[in-house]
Amino acid sequence: MARKGRMGLWWALSPAVFTLAAAWLFLASSLADHRGTLEQGWAEADSTALLLARQANRLLRIAELGATSVTPLAEGRDLAALRGPAGGMLAELAARAPELRAIWITDAQGRLVATSAPGGHAIGLSLAGQPYFAPLRDGAESHLSGLMQGAPVEGWHVAWGQPLRGPDGGFRGAVLAAVAAEDMIRLDGLPPPAPSALFQIDRADGTMMMRWPLSAIGATHPGGAPLPGPAGRREVVDQTGAPRLLAWRAAPDMPLVASVALDRAAVLAPFHQRLWRNGLFFLGAVSIALLCALVARHALRRERTARQAAEARGAALADALEEREGLLASVQEGEARLRLAEQAGRIGLWDWDLREGRLALIGDVFGEWGLRTRRRITARAALRGVLAEDRLGLAAALTAAVRGEVPLEAEFRLAPARPPARAPARATPKPERWIAVRAEVRRGVDGQPRRMLGIALDVTDRRQKAEALAEANATLERRVAERTGALADANARLREGEARFRGIFDATFQFIGLLSPDGTLLEANDAMLRLADVRADQVIGRPYWDAPWWPEEAGIRAAVRDAVTQAAAGHFVRRELAMRRPDGAALAIDFSVKPVRDEDGIVSLLVPEARDVSPLKAAQAQLLEAQKMEVLGRLTGGVAHDFNNLLMTVLGNLALARKRMGEAASPQLLRHLDAAALGAERGAQLTQRLLAFARRQDLKPQAVDLGQLLAGLGDLLGRSAGPQVRIEVAAPPGLPPALVDPHALELALMNLVVNARDAMPEGGRIAVRLDARTVPGGGEAPAALAPGAYLRIAVRDTGHGMDAATLARAVEPFFSTKGPGQGTGLGLSMVHGLALQSGGALQIDSVTRQGTTATLWLPVSTEAPRAADAGAEVEAPRGSGLVLLVDDEPMVLESSAALLSDLGYEVRTADSADAALALLAEGIAPRVMVTDHAMPGMTGAALAARLARERPGLPVILATGHAGPWAEGEGPPRLAKPYTQVQLGRALAAILARADGA
């Protein structure tokens, strides 16, 4: 009866015990699920913040490179001249970098002078009030703007800015490159975040640069203070009071921090759904348990009644009990066998990375195989543990499984282990061991096989004892389920790593791929696919040298194939090759192939990498042209200076000879002397033109009679055009003079005629027309001209003309349509610069196969043209007093002293600045000093500056064949070499008159 009471109590308490145990299990699993869901949310926030930081870093690096590439082009120019050609250059640069929304340039007052945006309607817009302008103007070397919207860029954007500085370091303007805000959050490699997620990019000082979505309220983190450290996570409360999961990462190169805030409620929403579902299951299970308890209590009562009836049948019950004891012994024996099967199962797990060719092994079964577990080995090393007779069959099964023909199910024998060196000669061989493997292939989003996951099982006992294997099946299935769960977690971590690799692989702007050792393309990043405008499935699996981004030239493809072959042999290869875009345009690239070896030292992968160096090549070509022109300018300036000194001697002595011969000379001799003087004067004009061509002379605008200038240039223009070209010059009389440097204008007209001649290789006609125009006076004048009166010189040819693209770049420095060695690309740019510096404009109109008209607009001068000297008929003004003459050239010193003596002056000479200072120290008191500029030691300008301090009352005339200007500033009055006696006398009379008047 006591036993019956205990049984009744057990049946009464069992529902409560079951309910408590089930409640404990439900609570524990729910808490674990809650922690796991939150950790998954934190992981998503961390990975999204990392990709957002890398995306922002990449885009702003591109913006920095775009602004940096524009800065050298703008620093050496007049910003007002950038309005025309710079727009095309900026648009072309922005088109090469699709990540850039726009590039623009402002002047020192914040006015927009150039932009890559089409139309140019915002040119002249004041951007001084923009928040990015003041830091650059106040001395910052660069600046990252906050989130902006509006001109000169449409839509929301951020910008990288750099200052433009002049030679003296002063602020001249700013260059800015904009990146669209929506491009910042285009994160490859992750599923789209929840709609409630907030993205934000801050500068290092905590200033917010970008927030997405733009309509969101508040920020990812309150307070506006900088986030601590380069990375981190914490839980915050937004302005609505809702908790959020905040993760942040600092960019690798840029001073900015990317942060992501996920709604905690949205992250836990799946957990709440599972909690509700599992709660319903828990209540159902408890209800079923209670029902079972009631049924059990009812059965207990019936059993009590049956037991009372069974006491009368004791003999039969004894037999039943004996039979039950035998059955219990049989069950215990089966349980013992089951435990032995669990210990002898020896199951191993293996993971084969098909791209790397390496396996990860887990399990003791691989120890019998002769392999090390818990590390990655090659497939070749694994196959060495298989019996030689079974290797081919196993390899065929693996190949069929990878191809997707059949799942992998194979059994094979292990190769016998090598006996130790000291083993006896007649050692008993070990029995064969059988291993069964099963696996499935995991494929990527492109359908290509990526991994093979499987198990390895020692099935020796199953082959020997099939019954023992059947008893162990239950244990095997349970263990496989446990290992499969762990494998699923490992796969999730593997997919996360693959997503991060893909994000890094596709984020670079260089052209990168992955090849097998035979040259088959396995992977290609987004930059390479965009270059050829193809999809990945169109090129992967093909030979790398047959890819569409290589030109059709057999030499280039053979060079690529040779580079791949050398890399497969283990060599690093680097060459300069060419790639092509879909439009056929060629790119100069720095190409390299690097081999990747496995643990056995065998080349398993090749990594080809290409970098676009086309802009670098173009910049190097421009630098070479600039260096050539600089050398030519220095050589020309030096030759012209020495030539001026020689001409000075010739002109001085000719003038003295003609004057001293007087009336005694025959007319024929006088004509010879005048012809020699005229030739020397033309030589002087030639040196001035050489200096102007070398750009070593300042422009000296003056009133010029253009009709007279064109008449004097007629013969020279005809010789320059050649015998096959006919030149017509039309210059109506009565036109006002133009304000321009005559020597620079002559050189400009020569350039225009030579360009017209080159456009007519088979001959033609060049018409030079001169007329007057008033602005505004119609739609034919250039828009940049100020209102006023102008003279036009139009040079029209009947050549092949220019298309729209060539015409747009015609005045760019170093741009030329001529072949190598036939032109520098500076002719039209020099004419354009002359027109702008003279207050006019250069207008070019061209039609293909109909000819080109280059029109030079020059302002009208308010002064009359200067009358030319009448040569020997002009009388030089005479004077008196002591003149100190300083020159390092003996012949110039002698001829100039003779000219001064002939004018009535007393002359003391010195061959250097030190000699002149010594004469002054001795006590001579000259009325005026005439000194050369370019002398060894102290220059004439330095001597004049010193005398201005020590003898402020001594007038100084600087006679020089140097083109100027020089570092000493404006200095004293200058007398250009070679000079005549008339010019020398006038210069002395003028400076002495000023000195006497003072």
Q: Which fold has domain 706-859?
A: Heat Shock Protein 90 (3.30.565)
Residue 567 has pLDDT above 50, yes or no: yes
Q: What pLDDT, on the 0 to 100 scale, is given for residue 82?
A: 65
Query: So what's the architecture of 875-997 in CATH?
Result: 3-Layer(aba) Sandwich (3.40)
pLDDT-above-70 percentage for the chain: 74
Chain centre to alpha carbon of residue 923: 69
Q: What pLDDT, on the 0 to 100 scale, is given for residue 810?
A: 67
- The CA distance from 117 to 121, in Å, is 9
Q: Band of the pLDDT at 821, cuts 50, 70, 90?
A: very low
Domain spans in the chain, listed from the N-terminal domain onward: 10-301, 345-416+432-504, 508-612, 706-859, 875-997
Residue 236 has pLDDT above 80, yes or no: yes
Query: Which residues are registered as beta bridge partners of 619?
Result: none
For residue 776, whether the previous peptide bond is cis, meaning omega lies within 30 degrees of 0, is: yes
- The CA distance from 882 to 904, in Å, is 10
Query: Which residues are registered as beta bridge partners of 703?
Result: 739
Residue 413 has pLDDT above 60, yes or no: yes
Q: Which two tokens stand for residue 174?
A: 């700013």
Q: Band of the pLDDT at 440, cuts 50, 70, 90?
A: confident
How many CB atoms are closer than 10 A to CB 68? 14
Least confident range from 185-189, 278-282, 425-429, 770-774: namely 425-429
Least confident range from 77-91, 563-577, 786-800, 871-885: namely 77-91
Kindly state the greatest CA–CA separation across the chain. Answer: 181
Asked whether the CA dihedral 200, 203, 207, 210 is positive or negative, the reply is: negative
What is the mean pLDDT of the segment spanning 195-223?
Answer: 74
Q: What pLDDT, on the 0 to 100 scale, is given for residue 886?
A: 92
The secondary structure of 614-677 as a DSSP string is HHHHHHHHHHHHHHHHHHHHHHHHHHHHHHHHHHHHHHHHHHHHHHHHGGGS-HHHHHHHHHHH
Q: What pLDDT, on the 0 to 100 scale, is given for residue 498?
A: 64
DSSP SS3 for 481: helix
The overall average pLDDT reported for the chain is: 77
Higher pLDDT, 716 or 46: 46
Higher pLDDT, 847 or 693: 847
Q: Which two tokens stand for residue 991?
A: 């400076």
How many CB atoms are closer than 10 A to CB 269? 13
Whose tokens are 């995306």? That residue is 55
Least confident range from 110-114, 288-292, 373-377, 763-767: namely 373-377
What pLDDT, in 10s, does the model give residues 730-760? Answer: 888 888 998 888 877 887 888 888 888 888 8
Q: What pLDDT, on the 0 to 100 scale, is given for residue 662?
A: 64
What pLDDT, in 10s, does the model give residues 144-168? Answer: 888 887 778 877 888 889 998 888 8
Query: Which residues are registered as beta bridge partners of 573?
Result: 593
Nearest alpha carbon to residue 221 among 193, 202, 196: 202
Residue 304 has pLDDT above 80, yes or no: no
Beta-strand runs (E) in 33-137: 102-107, 112-115
Q: What pLDDT, on the 0 to 100 scale, is given for residue 343?
A: 44
Contact 431, 421 (CB under 8 A): no
Residue 207's alpha-carbon distances to 56, 142, 326, 510, in angstroms, are: 15, 15, 83, 31
Q: Band of the pLDDT at 383, cuts 50, 70, 90?
A: confident
Residue 502 has pLDDT above 70, yes or no: no
Residue 373 has pLDDT above 80, yes or no: no
Q: What pLDDT, on the 0 to 100 scale, is given for residue 772?
A: 87
Q: How far apart are the first and last CA of the chain?
A: 147
pLDDT-above-90 percentage for the chain: 3
> Any idea what the Cα angle at residue 932 is, between residues 927 and 933, rounded to 5°?
120
What pLDDT, in 10s, does the model give residues 243-278? Answer: 888 888 888 888 888 888 888 888 888 888 888 888
What is the mean pLDDT of the segment spanning 852-868?
Answer: 81
Q: Which fold has domain 345-416+432-504?
A: Beta-Lactamase (3.30.450)
Higher pLDDT, 913 or 211: 913
Q: Band of the pLDDT at 682, cuts 50, 70, 90?
A: low
Question: Hey, which of 681-690, 863-872, 888-897 has the most confident mean pLDDT?
Answer: 888-897
- The CA distance from 137 to 108, in Å, is 8
Q: What are phi and psi of 540, to 5 degrees?
A: -70, 135
Residue 292 has pLDDT above 80, yes or no: no
Q: What pLDDT, on the 0 to 100 scale, is given for residue 192?
A: 62
Q: Band of the pLDDT at 914, cuts 50, 70, 90?
A: very high
Q: Which amino acid is located at 12 in the chain?
A: A
CATH class of residue range 508-612: alpha beta
Question: Hey, which of 77-91, 136-150, 655-669 has the most confident mean pLDDT?
Answer: 136-150
Higher pLDDT, 822 or 342: 822
- The CA distance from 594 to 544, in Å, is 14
Q: What pLDDT, on the 0 to 100 scale, is given for residue 928?
A: 92
Higher pLDDT, 84 or 623: 623
Q: What pLDDT, on the 0 to 100 scale, is given for residue 871?
A: 42
CATH number, span 10-301: 3.30.450.20
Contact 792, 730 (CB under 8 A): no
Give me the torsion for CA of 822, 826, 829, 830, rounded to 10°.
-120
Question: Hey, which of 220-234, 408-422, 589-603 has the most confident mean pLDDT?
Answer: 589-603
For residue 965, whether the previous peptide bond is cis, meaning omega lies within 30 degrees of 0, is: yes
Question: Hey, which of 292-306, 386-400, 813-827 has the most confident mean pLDDT?
Answer: 386-400
- The CA distance from 502 to 84, in Å, is 43
Return all residues near 93 (Cβ < 8 A) that are at least 6 apart: 66, 69, 70, 100, 103, 116
Whose tokens are 């869901």? That residue is 37
Q: Between β-strands 764-775 and 725-730, what pairing exists: parallel, antiparallel or unpaired?
A: parallel
- The CA distance from 103 to 177, in Å, is 4
* Per-state percent for the chain, helix, strand, coil, to nearest 5: 45, 25, 30
Contact 914, 890 (CB under 8 A): no
Q: Band of the pLDDT at 337, cuts 50, 70, 90?
A: very low
The yes-or-no answer to whether 706-859 and 875-997 have a common fold is no
